[in-house]
Amino acid sequence: MDPVPHERFAVLVDDALDGIPDELWAHLDNVAVVTEDVDPDEPDLLGVYDGVPLTERDEYGGVLPDRIVIFRLPLCAMVADEDELVEEVRVTVVHELAHHMGIDDDELHDLGWG
């Protein structure tokens, strides 16, 4: 599908975050979620987590927030319509939040999210 405008995409990401259960929110710590058009090094990448997973934080403090980036253009390119985009954004947000929690790709695949 043609890319949705930046503002609309940000709303879709916010909606996906709003759908995260409170029990999960209680475990998230020091993480920012942002949107960008595309990763210049990996243009097909849907999202990326950059930080120290919660499972690896021994002496953690005084650091910038972890960062999750959700990429607009590759997500729009992989779907046929906005309904599919909403679902793919949701899956990508959950996938990257799982990395923040220390869940790797193999575990996500075993859980049906990979």
Tens-digit pLDDT profile for residues 67-110: 999 999 999 999 999 999 999 999 999 999 999 999 888 887 78
Contact 93, 24 (CB under 8 A): no
Look at residue 25 and tell me whether its pLDDT is greater than 90. no
* Rounded (to 5) percent helix, strand, coil in the chain: 45, 15, 40
Residue 5 is given by DSSP the state P
Listing DSSP states for 35-91 in one string gives EES--SS-TT--EEEES--GGG-SS--S-PPEEEEEEHHHHHHT-SSHHHHHHHHHH
The predicted structure's pLDDT at residue 114? 59
* pLDDT per position as a tens digit, 60-73: 777 789 999 999 99
Q: Is the pTM of this model over 0.85?
A: yes
Domains and CATH numbers, the chain: 6-56+63-110 (3.30.2010.20)
Q: What percent of the chain has pLDDT over 90?
A: 69
